[in-house]
Structure 1
Amino acid sequence: MSEYTDNLRKSMLELGNSNDYIELCINYARKLEKSHVPIIFDKIHFLVLTELKSSQLNDFLNNRAGYYREFELIINNRKREIHAPNNILKELQKWIQLYILKPLRVSDWATAYIPGTSIIKNAAIHIGQECVVNLDLKNFFNSISAVKVHRVFRVAGYTKELATLFTKICTVNNCLPQGAPTSPYLSNLVCIKLDQELADFCQSLGIRFTRYADDMTFSGGKEIVKVLPQIYKIISKQGFLINNDKTKILNCGQRQEVTGLVVNDKVSVKKEFIRKLSQEIHFCLRFGVSNHILRTGIRKSNYKDHLFGRAYFINMVDKSLGDDLLKKLQSIDWEY
């Protein structure tokens, strides 16, 4: 028995609770301890822990959509609908992320949104394979329903009442909002069963598998292509759809890419990505930043950050080349 449950039993005995009720509460607390999440008995207990007023929570529950700001962003040539929570809701979601979600373990095949992982480590698993297949899960966050999120909190051990409350805090329009701090990690937790089923299937055939958010990669021999229908079936069974326009089958004679990195014989950045950055640095040094922007019609207000961001990305993969590019960027007269 833990110190917490020992103290809980003593307190409840002093209050005159029945032995049956005490055992019920102790067993509930033990279940949550096993999941390494906070022991929370009801909504009032949750309000005490989060220092949130009951009126604030009720206002949110009666107007959940009003606590989000909706806008669109273009990311990697894709239009994304963002639901950004206001400060009150964001702080509440951060609390759930830190204390409830973060202690829960995700699958070994999930490589996004987890400390210590990166697109580089994700790509490295698929180096030097005969065939690489990339699949994209369509409308990933929108495909994760409130029902699936509710199940995450129930599996962690929480009551139906609390699981429902946490689900309402973490979802909007019956799905995960893109823009909430809880959505990325929740997506990994929801996908545990999907990852496990795909991993079991792939391992039986000697196929390597990873999932970086909505990007799934399978690598190995050419037999992967033959078993794609079975892979699609597993994905469909878990409630996800494949974006067929983004499916890529890459053989060893082609440039094989995984999450934007080349993996034919080592993890490397695409040559045209490096060439384009080197060219922009050259023109900035030769003509000056303002003249270069005027000549080319560049409309990025954060142009300096944009170039440095690209150089830091290269630096993560190839430190020597990245250091050289960063040194050149630092030598530019940025005029601001």
Structure 2
Amino acid sequence: MNWLRRFFAWLFGPKQVTRDVARLPDHSGGRAPDVLKEVVQTGGPVKPNYRRLAVRDARLLPDRSRKGGWTGLAWRAPTSVMTGKESRRLFSNSLRTRNRNLRTLATDEKQLARYGLPLWRTETELAAALNLSIEQLRHFSIHRVRDRVPHYVAFAIPKRSGGERVIHAPKKKLKAVLRNVNDQLVSRLPVHAAAHGFVKGRSVKTNAEPHVGRAVVVKLDLEDFFPTVTWARVRGLLISLGYGYPVAAALASLMTESERQPVTVDGQTFHVPVGDRVCVQGAPTSPGLCNAVTRKMDARLSGLSKKLGFTYSRYADDLTFSGDDAKQIETLLNRATRIIHTEGFVVNGKKTRVMRSGNSQKVAGVTVNETLGLSRKERRKIRAALHQATPEKRAQLEGTLAWVHMLNPEQAAKLKADAVRAPTSPGPTTT
């Protein structure tokens, strides 16, 4: 019956709003292909093992048959990448609003003070707080359908589990601005007590501690965690916290970005958006924003867990539940999945795990069977690496030992004692 539940969740559940490119003109004469993402080697300097991300879609290429010039008595403009009218039509999740009450909503100073957030009533005050002119602020925060200079560099890095992770790294000036926004605003946003990732004073250790020694540990994973938090969700969050529409819209645009495709027209290259503005992995503000947006979801999942006799915690996109009543697992999974979907997120079913006490139980890479720390297998690997390490390699392993010490000082002490007794492997000899 799982397939039936997934079907109804897909049919009636909330769906992520994405740019509708189905009505773009098809210049190939047949049905237009889907948007393609390609990871390429070219495109400028990138760190070793990193590769650029390029987005390709033939429907976004300009029609070369549209050349400027006189047609009879009428002047026809030359080929453009996309007009403002087309942009507004194709963005189903518009950056504008016709809701006059929302557009003219004043700043709620008492609400901002209640949450300890900075008081920014206008874009001018926001720009001054960020040490920017109003022109500089709008240079970074206005959404353009034809951007000559992108503010982000997109590239892919290899995942430890296989595949590649796409990173959107802001360029130097924007990165400095986003760090300023993060310090003044995002780091102060309210976050639920169950959230442990990217929160000061919390870590993988505090995330794993509540699940030690439980009969069953259930792990869920959120699919496309950062991109699910769109511009509209960020704007709505800021308005609900007390900011007026102009400031909330400017901040939401500043902290989000679209994937873009480079298009060359008449010798000039433009970077055209091919999707919604979303929180991107690589921006300093994205982790904190995602934690704040998921606050309600964390509260609902915590309440559900308490009702069923389980404990809940979340580290970024990793959700963990633990308890002693295995009979409640199916109820927990069904209700938790329903809550996650109604909150606008998607469960990655391939990564769902149910771990019982007789087998290895891990929470975000930390073993929680009987005590917090590393498994025997992982400790043997570290011990073997210490015995075989050269002096240079052993210095690198000090970082691993420090991490083990944070999780379990007793395990770290035994590994360090073994390291002292271990013979040092000679480095490579040269002749």
Give the TM-score of the pair, scaled to structure 1.
Answer: 0.81
Match of 1:52 in 2: 132
Letter in 2 for 1:109: A
CA-CA distance at 1:65 after TM superposition: 7.5
How do 1:124-203 and structure 2 match up within 5 A?
Answer: 124-173=209-258, 174-203=277-306
Letter in 1 for 2:384: Q
Match of 1:28 in 2: 108
How do 1:63-82 and structure 2 match up within 5 A?
Answer: 63=147, 66-78=150-162, 79-82=164-167
The CA distance in 2 between the partners of 1:322 and 1:57, in whole Å, is 49
Letter in 1 for 2:327: E
Secondary structure of the 2:191 match is coil
Secondary structure of the 1:73 match is strand
- Is the Cα–Cα contact under 8 Å of residues 102 and 185 in structure 1 kept in the other structure? yes
Which consecutive residues of structure 1, in runs of 5 or more, have no partner in the other structure?
Answer: 1-23, 290-302
Structure-2 change in CA distance of 1:315 and 1:203 (3 Å) = same
- Is the Cα–Cα contact under 8 Å of residues 218 and 224 in structure 1 kept in the other structure? no
How many residue pairs match? The answer is: 297
Bigger Rg, structure 1 or 2: 2
CA-CA distance at 1:177 after TM superposition: 0.9
Match of 2:191 in 1: 106
1:299-330 CA-partner distances (Å, limit 9, x unpaired): xxxx6675333222212122244245457389
Structure-2 change in CA distance of 1:65 and 1:74 (3 Å) = farther
The CA distance in 1 between the partners of 2:281 and 2:149, in whole Å, is 13
Confirm whether residue 279 of structure 1 aligns to residue 384 of structure 2: yes
Secondary structure of the 1:203 match is helix
Letter in 1 for 2:359: Q
Match of 1:260 in 2: 365
Structure-2 change in CA distance of 1:304 and 1:238 (3 Å) = farther
Structure-2 change in CA distance of 1:73 and 1:309 (3 Å) = farther
Which consecutive residues of structure 2, in runs of 5 or more, have no partner in the other structure?
Answer: 1-104, 259-276
Secondary structure of the 2:168 match is strand
1:141-182 CA-partner distances (Å, limit 9, x unpaired): 111111111122112210111111000111112211101111
Between Structure 1 and Structure 2, the one with more helix by share is 1
How do 1:200-239 and structure 2 match up within 5 A?
Answer: 200-220=303-323, 221-227=325-331, 228-239=333-344
The CA distance in 2 between the partners of 1:56 and 1:306, in whole Å, is 43
1:81-111 CA-partner distances (Å, limit 9, x unpaired): 1011112111211122111122222011111
The CA distance in 2 between the partners of 1:224 and 1:309, in whole Å, is 40
Letter in 1 for 2:349: N
Confirm whether residue 41 of structure 1 aligns to residue 146 of structure 2: no
- Is the Cα–Cα contact under 8 Å of residues 70 and 83 in structure 1 kept in the other structure? yes
1:105-136 CA-partner distances (Å, limit 9, x unpaired): 20111111111111111111011111110111
The CA distance in 1 between the partners of 2:398 and 2:154, in whole Å, is 29
1:13-68 CA-partner distances (Å, limit 9, x unpaired): xxxxxxxxxxx97x732232222111111111111121112332233234498111
Secondary structure of the 2:326 match is coil
